[in-house]
Amino acid sequence: MNIAPQKPDPDGLQPVTPMMAQYLEIKAAHQGALLFYRMGDFYELFFEDAEIASKTLGIVLTKRGKHQGADIAMCGVPVVRADEYLQRLIAHGHRVAVCEQMEDPAEAKKRGGKSVVRRGVVRLVTPGTITEETLLEPTRSNLLLAVARLRVSDDEARYGLAFADISTGQFGLSECSPAGLAAEIARLDPSEVVIAEAVHEDEALAPLWREIRAAVTPVGRDVFDGGQAERRLADFFDVATIDGFGSFSRAETVAAAGLVTYILRTQVGRKPALDPPRRDGASSHMAIDAATRANLELLRTLGGERAGSLFDAIDRTVTAGGGRLLAQWLASPLIRPDAIAERQDAVAFFTERALLRGQMRARLRSAPDIARSMGRLALDRAGPRDLAALREGLGGIADLEALLQAQADLPPILAAIAAALARPDRGLAPRLAAALEDDLPLLKRDGGFIRAGYDAALDETRALRDESRRVIAALQARYAETSEVRQLKIKHNNMLGYFVEVPQQAGEAFLQPGLRETYVHRQTMAGAMRFSTSELSTLESRIASAAEQALAGELAIFGELAGALLADGAAIRTATEALALLDVIVALAVLAEEENYARPAVDGSLAFAIEGGRHPVVEQALKRDGKPFVANDCDLSGQEAGKAGAGKAAGRSAPDKSAAGKIWLLTGPNMAGKSTFLRQNALIAVLAQIGSFVPARQAHIGAVDALFSRVGAADDLARGRSTFMVEMVETAAILNQAGPRALVILDEIGRGTATFDGLSIAWAAIENLSAVNRCRALFATHYHELTQLSKKLPRLANATMRVTEWQGDVVFLHEVVPGAADRSYGIQVAKLAGMPAAVVERARAVLAQLEATDRQAPSARLIDDLPLFAAAPRAAAPAPATRPDVVAEALDALDPNDMTPRQALEALFSLKAKRDGARRA
């Protein structure tokens, strides 16, 4: 890019320097991204970019020159610390265009003193396209998601979803309806979502884009060009047709093409090593909407932390890939009993072999993150330590494969793992071990990572380089002796190259005849003077040449090793996936042994029988405090459990109309453990269907195809929703979507409004769950009147939290027993919370007065008089009058148009008198 110096400013206010002209041209091509403009050892930012970066990063904002009459804001970050600053910028939702120097400054000088170093953007860093180890969470996949909308008709659309993790090569596709879009995005939990501008601007979808945790990136319609979709995918994978990858819907294909197009644009043509796309449809997984995921805290707590989540409680993996895979399993529990049983068989294999389990763990624990090292290698962002990670990883894979092959009667999953671990080239690990030094630099440009003796030509070049260094030391000694200045040193910097430095006082002699012919003055410092010599300049050229040749030799060897690894990339990725799977299976076996979990029976029935169930997160928290967890049973098994569908694959299709699950209506005081009981049964279902053992003595679960939870309360102020409105929206979603194979947990429905309104809503919701949804459900409430419904709903059973009183205080036993609570013990709980004594006593007095009235009578009459789902009664017609209406007759006789104000007033008094007389009569 040759730019004439002093290019005129468009406004004519000030000439634009060649460097600034170059910056403005590059920035114009990357609007919406902060431009990291490389200048020597710094990435500089200018104008608004500098102001944003200064505020976000907390670095000093300076000024440099003027543009259009205004000062140019400027700040910079060191290149060596760029990853740290990139991480903070990405975390705040910014995108960064990295602009590098594409040539040596010396080459630019050859074109003229005013020439600008060629620069170009080498990558666009976005939340979904980062690969640097320091920017990624080890146990979380960094998914980039592309969403394509395909219109089926004027009123119907389908959404194709394509997601990839370019740091590991994962690439999957799915399709959903508009109603399922939010749940599918919540399941994938991407870091960035790419959508067409038209989809982004759709008002109906605006709330979704505001609510999701990911960064949302709208792009032009050309990215999702349906006419070019198949060709773009085929070109990306260098194949003639994509038919070999499988059969994908039109929406999935367009989404996949949009995804790879965006990746190529952000990587500026560099192609990550992605696996061929695989369908990962929602139909094969338990449906869990965003609200339920948040309420159950599967992967993170409501505060966004991992600590306290189900994932944190059960994670016993020791590799980064295993942690990511376990998180994926928790996000997408299976619904096919045969697939679940295969995982359980593998877990059971290791629970019975403690010695083998320990051997596996020891080898897995030392396994590096091979997948992400391979991802960086494909994008030419890898360093020597990535090669070392692959050296260690490939060696560990061989050891694990040997351990598995030595076992008899391997379950199918473990046999497949052993076969996958045997695929990588066995000669790569020894080759890497022979080539790489033990102590490695972070960056390959630093050199010094190839072991001496590996390459003869490199050894010769290094010898010349190192010999020159010894010559420098000898030259320094000679100069010190001939000048009689013992403090003389030969030093080096990028500006002067090699130079002689002496103290200020001694330097004066170097300016006098006799020495000045040898020493050329270059620089005077505070307390020191610097000189150069012709001999030193010649030696510098030799040293620079030898060092450059040595580094070039090392980089060439790095390229050869990288090429060998990438050539075997498919086998290495397959083995890496197997390694992660093995880690998860062994980890689940460790979990089962440590926490005394039992293997659940999972089939296609409507069973849900848990004996001695425990909350996996709460139990561990209590254990740390030395307290026991009170286990409880739960039986929501449907009427057709063990008949229809037993042993068959569960799916979205509903069983016959006679099949339906039970509903437990749970009453009891606050703090007695109702919410814990509700959540623990939902979490047991999730654990069972990822293939894990579960915290229970025994469990029989008919595969749950959808899980719904309405627990807790919070405002949604950003959308103008009160706590009660949020509650009603989530409850409506459940009642509109839950089918017979779903599991529903509802807590305190209707408590956010007036008592009778809330009671009515809760009443009708239970009837709907029983008659329409016909699902297995747990319904916790403080409306004791609802317990009367068990008289008319045969599948509704009452259960309560057992409590007792001691000396006026309530004691929570945390036991679930059949029956209904007679009261909520709210005043006792208020006392425990520290409510002032006067308030507590006054509350007791008011409660006594209220209980003096017959509070149970209304509900008893209601259950007798109100048929289930009866139509709303019409207003009764007025009964015929049994006597003349004298007021009406007098009113008919009046003509307001002929009356004066006084006559109207007298008529009003007359009408009132007649009405009073009629009442007395």
- What is the chain's percent helix, strand, coil content, to nearest 5? 45, 20, 35
The residues with which 148 forms a beta bridge, in sequence order, are 160
Q: How far is CA 160 from CA 193, 209, 252, 377, in A?
A: 13, 16, 4, 30
* 672 annotated binding-site participant: yes
**Cα separation, 500 vs 492, whole angstroms:** 9
**Is there a contact between 196 and 218 (Cβ–Cβ < 8 Å)?**
yes
**Is there a contact between 759 and 624 (Cβ–Cβ < 8 Å)?**
no
**Cα separation, 731 vs 498, whole angstroms:** 76
Q: Which residues lie below 8 Å from residue 504, measured CB to CB, with a gap of 6+?
A: 524, 525, 526, 527, 528, 529
The residues with which 529 forms a beta bridge, in sequence order, are 502, 524
**Cα separation, 463 vs 539, whole angstroms:** 15
**Cα separation, 107 vs 117, whole angstroms:** 8
* 671 annotated binding-site participant: yes
Per residue in 806-845, is it b (16+ CB within 10 Å) or e — as a string?
eeeebebebbbeeebbeebbebbbebeeeeeeeeeeeeee
**Is there a contact between 662 and 636 (Cβ–Cβ < 8 Å)?**
yes
* 651 annotated binding-site participant: no
Nearest of 316, 302, 412, 309 to residue 357 by alpha carbon: 316
Q: Quick one: DSSP state of residue 286?
A: -
Sign of CA dihedral 655, 658, 659, 660: positive
- Report CA Rg, the chain: 38
What's at 364, amino acid-wise? L
**Cα separation, 104 vs 131, whole angstroms:** 27
Nearest of 795, 800, 792 to residue 819 by alpha carbon: 800
Rounded to the nearest 5°, which phi and psi values hold at 775? -100, 170
* 858 annotated binding-site participant: no
Q: Quickly tell me which residue has 């002496």 as its tokens.
A: 502
Q: What is the 3-state secondary structure (H, E, C) of 171-238?
A: EEEEEECHHHHHHHHHHHCCCEEEEEHHHHHCCCCHHHHHHCCCEEEEECHHHHCHHHHHHHHHHHCC
Structure tokens given for 751 = 């408590």
Residue 775, judged by CB atoms within 10 A of its CB (0-12, 13-18, 19+), counts as: buried
Residue ranges in 568-703 assigned as alpha helix (H): 569-595, 616-624, 674-689
**Cα separation, 340 vs 323, whole angstroms:** 19
State the angle between helix axes of 370-378 and 534-567 in degrees (0 to 180), rounded to the nearest 10: 120
**Cα separation, 45 vs 33, whole angstroms:** 11
**Cα separation, 236 vs 256, whole angstroms:** 11
Q: How far is CA 697 from CA 206, 229, 642, 662, in A?
A: 46, 52, 20, 21
Q: Quickly tell me which residue has 């979507």 as its tokens.
A: 737
**Cα separation, 554 vs 449, whole angstroms:** 8
* 914 annotated binding-site participant: no
* 674 annotated binding-site participant: yes
* 669 annotated binding-site participant: yes
What distance, in Å, lies between the first and last C-alpha atoms of the chain? 107
* 660 annotated binding-site participant: no
Numbered residues of the known binding site: 668-675
Numbered residues of the known binding site for ATP: 668-675
